[in-house]
A and B are shown apart, each in its own frame.
Chain A
């Protein structure tokens, strides 16, 4: 019981620190804008966006393709017995637009990008580079956290779309080979199952997951203590925390949307 209370208190303290980091990042960016300068370097933003977005496409697409394929196969196998296998494309479409697309993307990006944010910023913290940026009066948070956060928040919705498309491709493979659903019928079923509300929920989730992954990744990097071993421990902790919080946030958004429906 005490352990749970202690863990809860620890989580609240960390949450407070992450919020403080975000507030500071915004304040530092505002200081730069007041001086008539950009909040962060655009070149840095584009480099990060490529890393987070473009470079993640193969992994996100592959994971989603196989998941879409498996989902179609499993549900098709069950529904075929009742002659309702035409529901499979709708099922995969709805699941991926509002739930699995953003979630799978979030998990993949947390593991791939969140870890690299922590390792990179953590190494910079240990080697006093972050402090050097601060001592030059450049604002280390807006300089390091700003472009990374902006990149991950803007790229996650794009990757979610790719995830949905890849999952539907996987689903179509099964529909074509196992369920005898032709492409025009498949297309019609998919289009009928895309609801604006689902898409909006998916986009909101993606933005939130991006914020979570970026914040956790950068925060864990900035708070590294203890050299190389510290960087390793922080990277592991970053991935675990980001995935756990992403899934928790997903559940919370689901509860809110179901309750308000």
Chain B
């Protein structure tokens, strides 16, 4: 076990910048996530929040800086080591990203079949448990296309849980859901994280959801983290950008000074 893991630091971003061609998406991000924490990263749509998660997963490589996950620089890892690292984390996608040709049961069984030597009975048991956890244990044989958006999101969450990851990344977990489904997902995230001490990084722009989930919040604006703090200080922050975002005002620094 290396130093970073002893320190309980799960993710550490050091001066991360990322540009797609001439378009700079992230500009010197410094961020640290501790074990068991639920960090909510907020920011405008298209502001680079999801990009931050993809950098953490090693799907994108930063233009400069480094993203350390469990103390390892994801961009420098060889394939085998990177896949071993990904085994310890999971991502819940905005549109679920369930494999459309597989049934709900097969979708959940897939990571277990590919990563473990568990018997079919054990796998079926785990799949059943995780589906029950998200209250979806009646849809085993259905295809993702036969489910509603909210149901798919819950299945996506269940799939992320089957390998019992130490870190889960959520991309807009409650976007586009009705208030009840949204609250169910939020409560599931909190319950799960508290019960298993799982670290969660959630990107969202839904304020209600953010305050329900977060133990700490960060504001991403113009490619930089401009503010971090616990939900209470965040709510009362004096920073004009944070204020405008929290209050959802149409006038303020974000709209008056649109990013180039």
Select from chain A the residue with minimum beta-carbon distance to B85.
A137
0/1 interface trace, chain A 164-192, chain B, CB 8 Å (1 if under): 00000000000000000000000000000
For residue B126, CB closer than 8 A to chain A, the reply is: no
Q: Determine if A129 and B83 form an interchain contact, defined as CB atoms under 8 angstroms apart.
A: no
Number of A-B contacts (CB under 8 A): 57
Select from chain A the residue with minimum beta-carbon distance to B102.
A129
A128 contacts which chain B residues (CB < 8 A)?
A: 93, 95, 97
Cα distance A135–B156 in the bound complex, in angstroms: 13
For residue B28, CB closer than 8 A to chain A, the reply is: no
Q: Determine if A129 and B98 form an interchain contact, defined as CB atoms under 8 angstroms apart.
A: yes
Using known A-B contacts A136-B86, A137-B82, A137-B84, determine if residue A131 contacts B100 with beta carbons closer than 8 Å: no
B79 contacts which chain A residues (CB < 8 A)?
A: 27-28, 31, 139
Cα distance A23–B95 in the bound complex, in angstroms: 30
A131 contacts which chain B residues (CB < 8 A)?
A: 54, 59, 93, 97
Select from chain A the residue with minimum beta-carbon distance to B113.
A41
B115 contacts which chain A residues (CB < 8 A)?
A: 137-138
Q: Determine if A138 and B111 form an interchain contact, defined as CB atoms under 8 angstroms apart.
A: yes
Interface size class of B (residues with CB under 8 A): 20 to 34
Cα distance A132–B83 in the bound complex, in angstroms: 13
Select from chain B the residue with minimum beta-carbon distance to A136.
B111
A27 contacts which chain B residues (CB < 8 A)?
A: 79
For residue B90, CB closer than 8 A to chain A, the reply is: yes
Instruction: Out of B82, B90, B95, B101, name the residue touching A136 (CB < 8 Å).
Output: B90
Cα distance A212–B87 in the bound complex, in angstroms: 33
B256 contacts which chain A residues (CB < 8 A)?
A: none
Using known A-B contacts A134-B59, A137-B115, determine if residue A127 contacts B100 with beta carbons closer than 8 Å: yes
Select from chain A the residue with minimum beta-carbon distance to B80.
A31
Chain A interfacial positions (CB closer than 8 Å to B) = 27-28, 31, 34, 37, 120, 123-124, 127-129, 131-139
Chain B interfacial positions (CB closer than 8 Å to A) = 54, 57, 59, 79-80, 82-87, 90-91, 93, 95, 97-101, 110-111, 114-115
18 residue pairs from A and B, CB less than 8 Å apart? A27-B79, A31-B79, A31-B83, A37-B114, A124-B100, A127-B95, A127-B100, A129-B98, A129-B99, A131-B59, A131-B93, A132-B93, A135-B86, A135-B90, A136-B111, A137-B84, A139-B79, A139-B83
